[in-house]
Structure 1
């Protein structure tokens, strides 16, 4: 996603107003999905969309579990869990990518019925109690060190650029991309060494109605 979708999107697009590049890139590609299905009624909900009361419109990890895409591990999946009254958030793990992925949205097809479609269960790739405890503790208490993402051996991890981007505080990411002047306020640098991201060549940001990037989407 980072190399094949986000970076080409930044290089070829002029987004106004400046908000979140990842959200804007996701919105663009989800919109392309709806445009590719003109004969169907399609409803798309991105992971960042909120109701007026600030509650999310979708629970993305629950949706991934129900769809059979990735197993959503919660404390209910740990027999006699050791955490007492502590709040323990759940996390999705994929059999091929471990935790090195994100669920950016869902596509709904109202009115489409497939009576013989079998329900697909999510693959349980962290089956042991000890490994589930380690996964949930790594995610809840040490998420910044990325180790929870290696709960299973992944086929692919984020690049160093991508890790640096997501390690940077959101308010400083546009400056990291070279799209705004960096703040003069001191801040803590990313823990991951940054290979300088390629800047747009003489371009600013592109509105959603402007020309699409030429490279393939996520």
Structure 2
């Protein structure tokens, strides 16, 4: 099998294992493209042509794959209180379990490193910069403050009040706006992308500087209320239940979904 056929077959298989109907999207990119976009601290120690695939979740995931998985884990007759004590981080456990299954399905044909969105280095840095991956893979447009202005004081003057932390960027999906999440990057250690491979170009769903300024303000000052998610006119959004679930502290989330087990 040629290297061209192999990477395409690998991508087709992972898309089949993590289908859009279950709330996933998969975007291939070259490790070298990512490494060129980040500082030394965040570079991945692989050949530049090594194939990586970014996995993100869409609005369908919550009441699709996640709900189905969670219900399958509860034993017959088991009380919800006991079940909730056993599954302390439902969404994180779902992603870990699902991605572990994918790795097992590839065990005889490829070596995979899975880097989750929550993985940190021993020095507490993110193991990978997901927003950068999303941008270079063409999955979501990564709006950074310097795209609005390279003058720090000018950026800060846009804000009606000073943010608690440094002003940071935010990613928008062309179809889902902010109603999505980066979940993991799969690095296929022994799969090389051909020289002719080119990543998709991310689509900017915002029109003009004023919309970019609005997004930065909403995300940095008001991220808890979720209004930033609606920037870019998304065609599909999180359900009210999903939004409420994500807005609650972990200990209050089970109350939101207890009816799934009736």
The TM-score bracket by the shorter chain reads: 0.7 to 0.9
Question: In structure 2, do the counterparts of structure 1 residues 129 and 7 end up closer, same or farther at CA, with 3 Å as the change threshold?
Answer: same
Contact kept? 2:145, 2:155, Cα under 8 Å: no
Q: State the 1:24 CA deviation.
A: 0.4
The correspondence for 2:119, drawn from 45, 49, 55, is: 49
**Partner Cα distance (2:155, 2:62) in 1:** 37
More helix by share: 2
The correspondence for 1:174, drawn from 239, 254, 258, is: 254
The correspondence for 2:103, drawn from 4, 25, 34, is: 34
Q: State the 1:35 CA deviation.
A: 2.6
More strand by share: 2
Choose between structure 1 and 2 for higher RCO, CA contacts under 8 A separated by at least 6 residues: 1
The correspondence for 2:147, drawn from 53, 77, 97, is: 77
Contact kept? 2:87, 2:93, Cα under 8 Å: no
Unaligned runs of 5+ in 2: 1-60, 75-82
**Partner Cα distance (1:51, 1:122) in 2:** 28
**Partner Cα distance (1:10, 1:172) in 2:** 16
Aligned CA RMSD, in angstroms, stands at 2.1
**Partner Cα distance (2:132, 2:88) in 1:** 27
The correspondence for 1:2, drawn from 62, 65, 78, is: 62
Q: Which 10-residue stretch deviates more, 129-138 or 146-155?
A: 146-155
Q: State the 1:170 CA deviation.
A: 1.9
- Superposed, which structure 2 residues align to 1:173-212 within 5 Å? 173-178=253-258, 197-199=259-261
The correspondence for 2:226, drawn from 146, 150, 153, is: 146
Unaligned runs of 5+ in 1: 179-196, 202-218
**Partner Cα distance (1:127, 1:138) in 2:** 16
- Residue 132 (structure 1) aligned with residue 212 (structure 2): yes
- Superposed, which structure 2 residues align to 1:85-100 within 5 Å? 87-100=166-179
TM-score normalised by length of structure 2 = 0.64
Residue in 1 that maps onto 2:73: 13
Q: State the 1:67 CA deviation.
A: 1.4
Contact kept? 2:241, 2:256, Cα under 8 Å: no
Q: State the 1:127 CA deviation.
A: 4.5
**Partner Cα distance (2:62, 2:211) in 1:** 29
